[in-house]
Homo-oligomer: A and B are copies of this chain.
Amino acid sequence: MSENLRVAVVGAGRMGADHIQRLHHRIKGVEVAAVVDVDAWRAKEAIEGIDGASAYTDADIAFEASGVHAVVVATPGHLHEAILTRALDRDLQVLCEKPLTHDAATSWNVVQSEVALGNRRIQVGFMRRYDHEYRQLREIIQSQELGRLLMLHCAHRNPQVPEGYSDSNTVAEAAVHEFDVIRFLTGAEIAGVHIRHGRSSQHAGKGLRDPQQVLVETSDGTLADVEVFMNAQFGYQVTTEAVFERGVINIGGDAGIRRQAGGRWGGDVSPGFETRFQAAYDAEFQAWADAARRGTVDGPTAWDGYAAAVCCEAGIKSQASGVPVKVNLHTRPALYSA
C-alpha cells in the first residue's frame, strides 16, 4: 500500500483522544479518517484540526462511509465484542485496546471469528511489548546469555484509583498487563494464579483490598510474584526483576535496564552518538519539519551556527598558544532576537 492507511478511531475518551493525536502527529503513513463516539460533540471535538477526518456516532456507518482500512478500538471493554465483529465483517485491520473483550467466553468468540476469516486482523493493545526495556529483557531471556530464566518479581504501582474501584478491577485493568508480560517474556502460557491479601492501605477505597500479591506459575515452571498496588501514592512505577541461572536483570526502575552478573552490577554505556542521540535526532527532524511546513524555523538558527564557528576559532587559537582567547561576535541581527 503506497497510500496512507486510513484509520477510524472508535471511542474518543481520554485514551481515544490521545491516540487520535498520536496517529495524526507522530505515526508515519497514517491518516485519521473517522472518529466515532456515541457523544457526537466529543467526536467532533476530536477531529478538530485534522483535515479530511469525519465524526460519527455509529461505528458501522463510519466504516461504511469513510472508506477506512483500519480501526483503533478505544471504547469501554464491554463494547469491544460488537465493534470487533463489525470490523472483522469488513475485514479491517484492528488495534484493540485491552481487554480484547470483557470476558473469556466472548474473547474466545472473537478468536473463532478471526480464525474463520483465516487472517490475523486484530492486534491487542498490550503496549508494554513495545517498551524498549521489556524487549531487551525478552531478548536476554531468549538468548539464555545468563542461563535459563527462573523467577520473575514484578510490581505494578499506580498513584491512585477512584472510589468504587474493586478487587476485580485490579485484575482486569492492572494485573492483566502483567499476565501478558509474563507470557510475552517467557513464551509460555500461564498455568495457575493465586492472589494473596494482607494489610490494606488506608488509601484504598471501600471494598478494595490494596495492595494485592498475585502469584503466577507458567506452564514450563517459571514462578512469578506480582505486587499490584493501585493507590501507591508516590507515582506510577512498573518494574520487573528477572532471575536467571547466572544473573539478574532489572527493568522499569529509574536507571534503565540493569544487569547483575559476573560480580558486577550496572548497565550499558551507549556505543556511539547515533544510539545516544537517536531520539534527539528524531525529535529535531520532526520539529524542523513541523516548523518548515509553517514556513519558519524555531530551532537553532544560522546565528547559532555563526557563534559556534567563532568559538571554534578561538578554541583552536588557544590550543596553539596555551592561553585564554576572547570571543568577539558581530552584533546580533534583529532577525535572531529571541
Contacts and interface: CB of A to CB of B under 8 A. Distances in A.
A100 B329 contact: no
A145 to B, nearest CB: 12
Given A233-B245, A290-B29, A202 B281 contact: no
What is the interface of chain A mostly: helix, strand, loop, or mixed? mixed
Contacts of A7: 289
B179 A319 contact: no
A179 B297 contact: no
Oligomer copy total: 4
Interface in A188-216: 189-203, 209, 211-215
Given A1-B294, A309-B100, A201 B150 contact: yes
Interface in A1-40: 1-2, 5, 7, 18-19, 22-23, 25-30
Interface string A263-303: 11111111111111101111111111111111111011111
Nearest to A238: B276
Contacts of A179: 307-308, 311-312, 315
Given A99-B309, A103-B313, A290-B29, A263 B271 contact: yes
Nearest to A315: B171
- Of A5, A194, A269, chain B has the most CB atoms within 10 Å of the CB of A269
B280 A128 contact: yes
B297 A215 contact: no
Contact of A295 (B93, B187, B273, B312): B93
Given A122-B297, A213-B225, A264 B271 contact: no
A65 interface: no
A184 to B, nearest CB: 8
B234 A324 contact: no
Contacts of A168: 316, 319
A117 to B, nearest CB: 9
A301 B120 contact: yes
Contact of A263 (B1, B243, B268, B287): B268
A195 B296 CA distance: 37
A262 B260 CA distance: 16
A99 B108 CA distance: 55
Interface centre among A157, A171, A274, A330 (most CB of B within 10 A): A171
A188 to B, nearest CB: 10
A122 B305 contact: yes
A132 interface: yes
